[in-house]
Amino acid sequence: MKRLHIQGLGVSEGIRIAKAHIYKPVQAVIGEGVRSEDCIPDNPSAVEAELHKLRKAKTDCVEQLGKLIKKAKEAVGEEQAGILAGQRKLLDDPAFYPKMEARVREQLEPAPRAVAEIVRQVVSMLEGINNNYMKERAADIRDIGSRLLACLSPGQTGGLAEIEGPVILVADDLAPSDTVQLDPALVIGFITRTGGATSHTAILARSLGIAAVVGAGDGVGGIEDGDTLVLDGAAGLCIVRPEEPEAERYRLRMRQELERNRSLEEYAARPAVTADGTRVELAANIGSAAEAENAVRQGADGVGLFRTEFLFMNAQAMPGEEEQFRAYREAARSMGGRSVIIRTMDIGGDKELPYLQLPKEMNPFLGYRAIRIGLDRQELLRTQLRAVLRASAFGTVKVMFPMISGLQEWRQAKAILTEVQAELSQDGVSYDKNMEVGIMVEIPSTAVLAEMFASEVDFFSIGTNDLVQYTVAADRMNEHVAHLYDYFHPAVLHLIHRVIEASHAVGKWTGMCGSMAGDPLAAPLLLGLGLDEWSLEASRLGGMKERLASLDRQECRELAKRILCLDTPQAVRQALEEFLNTQGPSR
């Protein structure tokens, strides 16, 4: 058998080598044990008997999901368990389960076929929509449909219970309820034919620490049960039946990765301090309350960015104040007094919420998104701010508004916050009356006006991902202009410098929560520019602490001055690489 290289999308880092385990769940398609010509007898007792089977399957399904939700809460937290809770709600959707009963009653279809047909129709409808989010929600429908079919056919386990591990799971797709059942000690990685970076499965894989490659295409079909696989979750690569020299190279890399991780664990436990003794605040970016606990374990000084939009994207309907409050309170409590910066909903652009029915736009990144939605549909912003303020009574909570482009927007948002604070005071609800309020700096106009903003806001947080694309007019999702998208572009660096200087001039502080903050190459430059707070993925905190420990602040200040005089991103990169090459072994 020939070896294969399969390229997919890496969604959870880590190198793993193990035997393949082909996962074949119950298929929600007509023809799996049900001939299309079969019908139940046309008499009331037969119809009622079939309906009884279907209702019992639904009851069993609800019971199974209840147990899975409990397990998920323990394994990955309440918010991720909400994915399964959303599936359970689907069974009460009038456009889903009741239609199955109707097919049994009116078309005399056996229960399995009725389930398969409705699942097929809904999945087909979702996959026909030109929207990645909706396509990925089709996986939830398949999942609940497969579970119903399994309940109608006792004895079909779907194969997960048979795993003795350690293995790398190979599947056409993995449903969220499949993923949450995976034991990281037995399933050390997985590769799927379909799936995207924002799928629930990808989110759960990262939470569980399982290396994962998704969206690998039809090449996955070339993997056989028991094949030796090399999985590189960072590169999105799967090597099937590797030759021994190649496998040995990856074993070496895996050992180095383990040694490196152990080394970084030591750094994670220490505060971030530069070689000259300067203390640097390193925080974590999180997308759920459950990730806050991991941030603490990785040595975060706080949460620099709580992306609350994932709370909304993982729900079937807009989460209410109580649901939001519980998530924010959980994060605040988990951080044990460390600060948690909650960004208000940043929906729009590439993050859509079907239940909000946002208008289709020619250029959504320049359109109706983030604070623009909040100021237009104020009931959404008010509800979220009430939840954030209430959570502030349980820890050190701060709030920031995304996509602010001018002082008018900032003042409108701040005025709404003030009104919500007054409402809570009137209702006798506790909250932190001194809660810091800041803004994201991700639009060049805001950076240019930083001096004006600085006297009104409590802090800035620079979002380099959007700041870069708006500054150099290059869509960060467009591979054809990817070469233009570079946070080392001199124009971007001058905007960052301007923002930091403006905040310091009035005794305020500036953080950064974009990908630049997690780049070790950028570390000496950001330190030299005087960045006060760095927020990055929790898994990178140890590596960044190691890098900072090698840097001298005064040397970095001098470097930053020289770099601000350079005129191309290439020249900036070269200067940084040369600077780091002059440092010692750990520098």
Binding-site sequence positions for phosphoenolpyruvate: 307, 343, 465-466, 476
Binding residues for Mg(2+): 442, 466
Q: How far apart are CA 474 and CA 471, in angstroms?
A: 8
Closest CA to 331 of 365, 367, 358, 295: 295
The answer to whether 142 and 123 are in contact (CB under 8 A) is: yes
Candidates 200, 489, 497, 556; catalytic one: 200
Q: What three-state secondary structure class fits 168?
A: strand
Question: Any idea what the Cα angle at residue 437 is, between residues 435 and 438, rounded to 5°?
Answer: 150
Closest CA to 552 of 579, 533, 515: 579
Closest CA to 21 of 214, 176, 161: 161
Side-chain half-sphere exposure of 328, counting CA atoms within 13 A: 37
101: CB partners within 8 A, 6+ apart: 51, 54, 55, 114
Radius of gyration of the chain (CA): 26
Instruction: Classify residue 335 by its DSSP letter.
Output: T
240: CB partners within 8 A, 6+ apart: 3, 4, 5, 6, 20, 222, 223, 227, 228, 229
For 557, counting Cβ atoms within 10 Å of its Cβ (0-12 exposed, 13-18 middle, 19+ buried), the class is: middle
Cα dist from 35 to 29, 65, 148, 329, whole Å: 11, 29, 18, 52
Q: Quick count: other Cβ atoms within 10 Å of Cβ 436?
A: 18
Q: How far apart are CA 237 and CA 228, in angstroms?
A: 14
Binding residues: 307, 343, 442, 465-466, 476
513 included as an active-site residue: yes
The answer to whether 412 and 375 are in contact (CB under 8 A) is: yes
The answer to whether 5 and 239 are in contact (CB under 8 A) is: yes
483 included as an active-site residue: no
Side-chain half-sphere exposure of 81, counting CA atoms within 13 A: 18
Q: First and final CA of the chain: distance in angstroms?
A: 46
Q: How far apart are CA 541 and CA 268, in angstroms?
A: 6
83: CB partners within 8 A, 6+ apart: 72, 140, 176, 180, 200, 204, 314
The answer to whether 54 and 100 are in contact (CB under 8 A) is: yes
Candidates 151, 238, 513, 556; catalytic one: 513
Give catalytic residue positions.
Answer: 200, 513
